[in-house]
Chains A and B, each alone.
Chain A
Amino acid sequence: MKCKPFFALLLTILASIWLGEPVVRGEEPSGVTERLDADNFSQWCDLIRTRDSELAWQQLPWLASFHQGLVEAARENKPLLLWVMNGHPMGCT
């Protein structure tokens, strides 16, 4: 009788390997790690938010779309410098 849990575990491991699933499965651990409270809230804000010194590229007079750039380039009779990324360069890239 004492061997049954061992064999059950062994079967679970073998089945997991066979199915390509993780060896150990379980419930999401209950309880939330409380790292945030009213006392440290401002510290977390200061740590994550950006400072102006980190946003130097935003000081250049960028327009926010290709079309706006073409229109303004025509108005000023200048070439257009277009910076494009996967994700807007002024947003999430």
Chain B
Amino acid sequence: MGRRSVWSRDEVQKLTRHFVLATDEVWRLQGGYDYRKYQAAGGDDPECVCFQEMAAQGHFGAGGGTKQGIYACTPGGKLLGSINSLSAEAVQKMMERSLAAWQDLPAADRLARPTASQPKHRWEWSAPQGGLILKETIRYLQDESPEGQTPDSRFNHDFAWFSAEEARRLIPASPVMGKTYEVPPEIYRRLARCHLLNTAHGEGGTYHAHQVQGELSVTILEVDPQQVRIQLRGHGVSTGSRKKAYGLAPAARIRTELLGFARFDRASGQFSQFELIALGQLYHSADAVASDAADRNIGWYFTLADPERPFDRLAPTHLHAYDASWVEQPGLRLHDYQSTQPAQK
């Protein structure tokens, strides 16, 4: 909600002209739950350490827990002001105070630069060249029919990545019009584990491979020497365990059905069109009973990311959990050394 409530205010938008604007994912920057443990474990990514030293002076102070919020700082990383608020007015006041502090700084402080801030690892660097880059939109749905529904005002975005080789596996080597082929299970598994999640109103946890069951098939609608047009059809069930989860837990159970249409360019080996809808029914219990009704309906929409939009090149939120050798992992994996930390809220 803050994404809209804060940045749509005219006064805030005017003030932004006095700043360089940047966004980032905070969990990586802060080194997991507690930056002191990150550094003690050998975490030394300059971009992260630079943020940690600045954020320790900010609204949440030193110690564990999220450091999310809005920070104003010098190019050298010296904190000018910070806040974590959904109030546009409060953010505006923080920006005004920070600008005043900037004006009062000695020139030497304004010109100071950080010792280092060049990151050692960023997830975006694993973006698969020539692969299938999908943008995902997630919304809760009011009903099981699209008729008469108005879109939920809250939604979320994510990205799904498949390498060029993985994407090509969606198309059979010798496609025959009208014939249906089973898609390799790892394609469905990635979607179900890391993307068909209860994330419409906030982040959610992933599923383990053994917690997802389902299938995806491809029917050839058109085929000629230049292109292949396909229909994707699938369904599945994912069940999670909140009791055993560390960090964010996935929904107890989601039943999904999928339908999509795509066009594959045979010369380039890439998809030129891709739209996939998945509809899900969310349940509070992992145990299925014959008469149970869904607690909530949810929908996911996948389409080709726009290569011209910088933010369509963000990494999938759960890229760390992909079962893909082409994903470059950081030297220090936050999920490895902080697995016993309290659940992230």
A residues adjacent to B (C-beta < 8 A): 21-22, 24-29, 32-38, 40-41, 43-50, 54, 56-58, 60-74, 76-93
**How many inter-chain contacts with C-beta < 8 Å in the A-B complex?**
253
Contact (Cβ within 8 A) B73 A79: yes
**Which of B110, B237, B277, B279 lies in contact with A28, CB distance below 8 A?**
B237
Given A47-B139, A54-B155, also A79-B50 (CB < 8 A): no
Contact (Cβ within 8 A) A45 B301: yes
Contact (Cβ within 8 A) A92 B145: no
Contact (Cβ within 8 A) A32 B235: yes
Q: Is B273's beta carbon under 8 Å from chain A?
A: no
Given A48-B151, A90-B314, also A80-B19 (CB < 8 A): yes
Contact (Cβ within 8 A) B20 A78: yes
Which residues does chain B contribute within 8 Å of A45, judged by CB atoms? 275, 277, 301
Given A45-B275, A49-B301, A80-B74, also A64-B255 (CB < 8 A): no
Q: Is B288's beta carbon under 8 Å from chain A?
A: yes
| SS of A interface (majority) | loop
Minimum distance in angstroms from A91 CB to a CB of chain B:
5
Which residues does chain B contribute within 8 Å of A69, judged by CB atoms? 20-22, 24
Which residues does chain B contribute within 8 Å of A33, judged by CB atoms? 144, 255, 257, 281
Contact (Cβ within 8 A) A80 B72: yes
Closest A residue, CB atoms, query B46: A67
Given A47-B139, A67-B47, A86-B66, also A62-B21 (CB < 8 A): yes
**Which of B8, B118, B156, B255 lies in contact with A92, CB distance below 8 A?**
B156
Contact (Cβ within 8 A) B144 A35: yes
Given A74-B75, A92-B203, also A28-B288 (CB < 8 A): yes
B residues adjacent to A (C-beta < 8 A): 3-4, 6-8, 13, 16, 18-27, 29, 47, 50-51, 66-77, 80, 95, 98-99, 102, 110-111, 113-114, 117-119, 122, 124, 137-139, 141, 144-147, 149, 151, 153, 155-159, 199, 202-203, 231, 235, 237, 255, 257-259, 261, 275, 277, 279, 281, 285, 287-290, 299-301, 303, 310-311, 313-315, 317, 344
Jot down 7 A-B pairs with beta carbons below 8 A, ordered by A: A47-B139, A48-B138, A62-B311, A66-B50, A77-B111, A80-B74, A81-B22
Minimum distance in angstroms from B282 CB to a CB of chain A:
13
Which residues does chain B contribute within 8 Å of A85, judged by CB atoms? 25-26, 68
A70 to B39, CA, bound (A): 21
**Which of B23, B24, B299 lies in contact with A44, CB distance below 8 A?**
B299
| SS of B interface (majority) | mixed
Which residues does chain A contribute within 8 Å of B258, judged by CB atoms? 36
Contact (Cβ within 8 A) A79 B47: no
Given A47-B141, A79-B19, also A66-B47 (CB < 8 A): yes
Contact (Cβ within 8 A) A35 B279: yes
Contact (Cβ within 8 A) B4 A56: yes
A71 to B114, CA, bound (A): 10
Minimum distance in angstroms from A55 CB to a CB of chain B:
9
**Which of A21, A41, A48, A82 lies in contact with B137, CB distance below 8 A?**
A48
Which residues does chain A contribute within 8 Å of B141, judged by CB atoms? 47-48
Given A22-B285, A45-B301, A48-B151, also A87-B317 (CB < 8 A): yes
Which residues does chain B contribute within 8 Å of A36, judged by CB atoms? 257-259, 277, 279
A37 to B145, CA, bound (A): 11
Contact (Cβ within 8 A) A77 B110: yes
Which residues does chain B contribute within 8 Å of A35, judged by CB atoms? 144-145, 257, 279
Which residues does chain B contribute within 8 Å of A84, judged by CB atoms? 23-26, 29, 51, 67-71
Contact (Cβ within 8 A) B75 A57: no
Minimum distance in angstroms from A40 CB to a CB of chain B:
5
Which residues does chain B contribute within 8 Å of A48, judged by CB atoms? 137-139, 141, 151, 155, 277, 299-301
Contact (Cβ within 8 A) A73 B20: yes
**Which of B102, B299, B314 lies in contact with A79, CB distance below 8 A?**
B102
Contact (Cβ within 8 A) A78 B19: yes
Given A57-B7, A66-B51, A87-B203, also A79-B68 (CB < 8 A): no
